[in-house]
């Protein structure tokens, strides 16, 4: 019962009218930006960060969380109707969802995606409710050496597991760590990389970087890409799947819930990896894999379930360890710090209203999404016709005004513009911005943990290996770092072996 009391109190927090209203606002905004291709949850959260300054921390995080998981719902609509993923996590939904739409079954595809998303999200919230306190309790034993190893592993996993070039992701992460060192040394107070600027003496604030890289950078990039979008259909019918469709997709929904939950916990995992892994698993298990890519309902239900489950479970490492699992969680991390709340193992005990209020708001948010997603499909189809030439300038103006209101400073606006250009160039040349922002967020934690650890060990770095948890995490770090080399050697041996066998086979033939 001691465990249930804070959970029940969390419902009392989220059922307050203000928090309910912000939960609704969050999921509606999330669905809208999921529908509009390009402007993802990370960009939207970055743009809206200044608006959260004047509301209670739990209210702000409830709204931002609603944007995140609401976007997973909305991203499906453009994947099915336009063959254009609104979100990276909806990329694989295009394969079968668009084929179903071409067969006149767009409504069925959207219905299966909504039901799967609801089940996957709800299953992950239940898992989060029971697992998060256990992880937080375990993490209470963490000290600087453990946080050093965990931060290093988190950055490496995000850089190596995320989609795109691994080398470019590592370069982006290195740039993020470099940016984190700008300002006064946290131990000696000496200036670093400030070039004599007093405005850089306190370091670069997280908000201008996030608003520039994700907000303005995405807007500039999407202006280039949006003209390639197809036209939305005028009407979508039959959004309630038949009993046969539900029976066919039920296994994929169950497996997607479990797979998405566990992949969401891993640093670097997240919704995109979960949806791709689910699609691959369903295709591998299918008795007729050739149906995939031609309108298989499992190809829509599995990935959509998995990405919602992963989006929810990715809150576990953020709230319990203080380690963001992906770029959007890095923005959540920044939002919590702005509100004066430090995510980590102490959060569950010291701020249970916020912790359980945010967790329980997801139950409410998922129900709201299920209620709204199917009846509002027609409205979202109309929204898709909004021209980028109208939307982009308005969003850019809101971003710059938001940047100015942080400190009433033109320097912040300048920083947003500079990082907006950097974000645009990164997207254009295939550099994922996620590792940069995540490394920047974890940079201070990593530096302070390394230096405190070395003070503990008297300058002897071998001390990291003398503590079981930090030693285990460092071993995993080395294995992950060496994984590409191991794969390359294995592939080379396999190729050599096949070449050696071929003449013998030829002789027998």
Instruction: List 191's β-bridge partners, or say none.
Output: 184
Dump pLDDT digits (tens) for 88-113.
Answer: 677 788 788 888 888 888 888 888 88
Most confident of 5-9, 24-28, 209-213: 24-28
The string over 463-479, giving b where at least 16 C-beta atoms fall within 10 Å of a residue's C-beta and e elsewhere, is ebeebebbeebbeebee
Q: Which stretches of 37-176 are assigned E, i.e. beta strand?
A: none
What pLDDT band is residue 505 in, cutting at 50, 70 and 90? Answer: very low
Mean pLDDT of 398-427: 86
pLDDT at position 329 over 70: yes
pLDDT in tens, 334-380: 888 888 888 887 888 888 888 888 888 988 988 888 888 777 777 77
Residue 244: pLDDT band (50, 70, 90) is: confident
Instruction: Label each residue of 193-233 as H, E or C.
Output: CCCCCHHHCCCCCHHHHHHHHHHHHHHHHHHHHHHHCCCCC
Is it the case that residue 178 has pLDDT exceeding 90? yes
The residues near 138 (Cβ < 8 Å, ≥ 6 apart) are none
Residue 18's pLDDT band (cuts 50, 70, 90):
very high
Give the residue-averaged pLDDT of 176-204.
87
**Confidence category of residue 23, pLDDT binned at 50, 70, 90:** very high
Q: What is the pLDDT, as a whole number, of residue 507? A: 47
Q: What's the Rg (C-alpha) of the chain?
A: 23
Mean pLDDT of 402-419: 85
Q: Phi first, then psi: what are they for 191, rounded to 5°?
A: -75, 140
Whether the predicted pLDDT of 267 surpasses 70: no
Encode pLDDT of 304-328 as tens digits. 899 888 888 888 888 888 878 777 7
Average pLDDT of the chain? Answer: 81
Average pLDDT of span 414-428: 90
pLDDT of residue 254: 92
| Residue 165 burial class via C-beta count within 10 angstroms: exposed 0-12, middle 13-18, buried 19 and up | middle
pLDDT at site 376: 75
What is residue 508's predicted lDDT score, i.e. its pLDDT? 45
Residue 163 has pLDDT above 80, yes or no: no
Q: Alpha-carbon distance 447 to 294, whole Å?
A: 50
Instruction: Place 388 in a pLDDT band, splitting at 50, 70 and 90.
Output: low
Position 257 confidence tier, pLDDT thresholds 50, 70, 90: very high
Is the per-residue pLDDT at 422 higher than 90?
yes
Helix (H, G, I), strand (E, B), or coil: what is residue 399?
A: helix
Distances (CA, A) of 413 to 45, 51, 108, 220: 17, 16, 45, 16
Residue 179's pLDDT band (boundaries 50, 70, 90)?
very high
The pLDDT of residue 98 = 82
pLDDT tens readout for residues 438-490: 888 888 888 989 999 999 888 888 888 888 888 998 998 898 888 877 877 87
Predicted confidence at residue 84, as pLDDT, reads 65
Of the listed ranges 348-357, 378-387, 406-415, 499-508, the least confidently predicted one is: 499-508
Q: Rounded mean pLDDT of 6-35?
A: 86
| Mean pLDDT lowest among 5-14, 66-75, 102-111 | 66-75
Q: How many CB atoms lie within 10 A of CB 503?
A: 8
pLDDT at 29: 87
pLDDT band at residue 498 using 50, 70 and 90 as cut-offs: low
Question: What's the pLDDT at 509?
Answer: 39
Q: How far apart are CA 210 and CA 220, in angstroms?
A: 15
**Interval 29-57 mean pLDDT:** 77
Read off the DSSP letter of residue 323: -
Residues in the chain: 509
- Over range 85-90, report the average pLDDT: 66
Backbone angles phi and psi of 184, in degrees to 5: -75, 145
Q: Which residues, 6 or more positions from 117, have their beta carbon under 8 angstroms from its beta carbon?
A: 72, 73, 76, 304, 305, 307, 308, 369, 370, 373
In 3-state terms, what secondary structure has residue 386?
Answer: coil
- Rounded to two decimals, the pTM is 0.76
Please report which confidence band the pLDDT of residue 38 belongs to, taking 50, 70 and 90 as the band edges: low
Taking the C-alpha atoms of residue 338 and residue 413, their distance in angstroms, rounded to an integer, is 18
Task: Name the one residue in this structure whose structure tokens are 């202006």.
Answer: 223
User: Mean pLDDT over residues 286-298, rounded?
Assistant: 85
DSSP assignment of 9-78: HHHHHHTSHHHHHHHHHHHHHHHHHHHSSS--HHHHHHHHGGGGTTS-HHHHHHHHHHHHHHHHHHHHHH
Q: Is the pLDDT of residue 381 over 60?
A: yes
């Amino acid at each position: 019962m001691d465990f249930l009391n804070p959970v029940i109190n969390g419902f009392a927090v989220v059922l307050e009218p203000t928090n309910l209203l912000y939960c609704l606002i969050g999921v509606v905004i999330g669905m809208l930006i999921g529908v509009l291709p390009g402007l993802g949850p990370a960009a939207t959260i970055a743009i809206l960060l200044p608006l959260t300054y004047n509301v209670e921390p739990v209210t702000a995080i409830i709204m931002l969380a609603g944007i995140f998981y609401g976007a997973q719902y909305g991203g499906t609509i453009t994947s099915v109707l336009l063959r254009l993923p609104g979100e990276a996590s909806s990329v694989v939904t295009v394969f079968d969802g668009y084929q179903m739409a071409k067969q006149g079954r767009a409504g069925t595809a959207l219905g299966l995606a909504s039901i799967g998303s609801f089940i996957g999200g709800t299953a992950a919230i239940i898992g989060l409710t029971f697992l998060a306190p256990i992880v937080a309790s375990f993490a209470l034993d963490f000290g600087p050496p453990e946080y050093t190893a965990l931060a290093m592993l988190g950055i490496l996993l995000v850089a190596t597991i995320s989609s795109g070039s691994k080398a470019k992701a590592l370069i982006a992460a290195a740039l993020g760590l470099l940016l984190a060192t700008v300002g006064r040394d946290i131990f000696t107070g000496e200036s670093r990389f400030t070039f004599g600027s007093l405005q850089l003496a306190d370091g670069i604030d997280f908000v201008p970087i996030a608003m520039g890289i994700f907000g303005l950078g995405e807007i500039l990039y999407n202006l280039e890409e949006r003209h390639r979008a197809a036209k939305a259909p005028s009407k979508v019918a039959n959004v309630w799947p038949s009993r046969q469709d539900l029976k066919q997709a039920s296994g994929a929904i169950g497996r997607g819930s479990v797979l998405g939950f566990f992949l969401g916990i891993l640093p670097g995992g997240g919704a995109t990896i979960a949806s791709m892994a689910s699609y691959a698993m369903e295709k591998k298990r299918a008795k007729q894999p050739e149906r995939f890519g031609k309108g298989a309902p499992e190809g829509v239900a599995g990935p959509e379930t998995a990405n919602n489950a992963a989006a929810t479970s990715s809150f576990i490492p953020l709230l319990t360890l203080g380690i963001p699992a992906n770029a959007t969680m890095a923005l959540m991390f920044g939002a919590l710090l702005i509100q004066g709340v430090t995510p980590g193992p102490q959060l569950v005990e010291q701020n249970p209203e916020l912790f359980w209020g945010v967790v329980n708001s997801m139950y409410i948010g998922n129900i709201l999404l299920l209620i709204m997603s199917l009846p509002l499909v027609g409205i979202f189809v109309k929204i898709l016709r909004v021209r980028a030439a109208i939307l982009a300038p308005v969003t850019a103006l809101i971003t710059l005004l938001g940047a100015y209101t942080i400190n009433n400073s033109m320097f912040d606006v300048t920083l947003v513009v500079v990082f907006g250009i950097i974000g645009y160039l990164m997207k254009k040349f295939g550099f994922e911005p996620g590792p940069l922002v995540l490394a920047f967020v974890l940079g201070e934690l990593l530096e302070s943990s390394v230096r405190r650890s070395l003070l503990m060990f008297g300058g002897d770095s071998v001390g990291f290996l003398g503590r079981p948890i930090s030693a285990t995490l460092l071993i995993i770090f080395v294995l992950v770092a060496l994984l590409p080399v191991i794969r390359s050697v294995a592939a080379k041996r396999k190729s050599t072996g096949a070449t050696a066998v071929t003449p013998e086979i030829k002789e027998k033939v």
